[in-house]
Amino acid sequence: MSKRLRSKKQYYLFHTSLFLAFAIILFAQNDTFLASFLFFSAMINLLAYRQLPWRIAPITVIINLFNSAVGATLAYNFWTINYNYPAILWLLLSVAYLIASFRQIYCIVVYRLKKKYKR
């Protein structure tokens, strides 16, 4: 019997609240484009929370890569306006999303190869 690979659905709720909090901050700073982009990202994470399976699926990898790109964009944006602490926070989150994506890709490949060679 093979081990089930689980994804952490509660992380997507945390990311939604984080994206919404920074969207409110950016709306207050009159950066409406990036704030609306963050609001859109939060809604994608909220929809992903409802639709995600408990097992690691390719959709979780795609959402993590998307969140990583959003984090890198926000880190660059905060560094250009000299807000170092939020920039470092978003850079670390972006790296965490990338690591999670690579780990999930590795687990998907190993699981499918194991399943293929079992037959």
State the pLDDT confidence band at 7, using cuts at 50, 70 and 90.
Answer: low
pLDDT cut 90: percent of the chain above it: 3
On average, the pLDDT of the chain sits at 78
Higher pLDDT, 58 or 23: 23
Sorted by where each begins, the domain ranges of the chain are: 9-118
Cα-trace Rg, the chain: 16
Which pTM was predicted?
0.69
* pLDDT confidence of residue 12: 67
Cα separation values, 54 from 35, 60, 89, 108, Å: 30, 10, 28, 13
State the pLDDT confidence band at 10, using cuts at 50, 70 and 90.
Answer: low
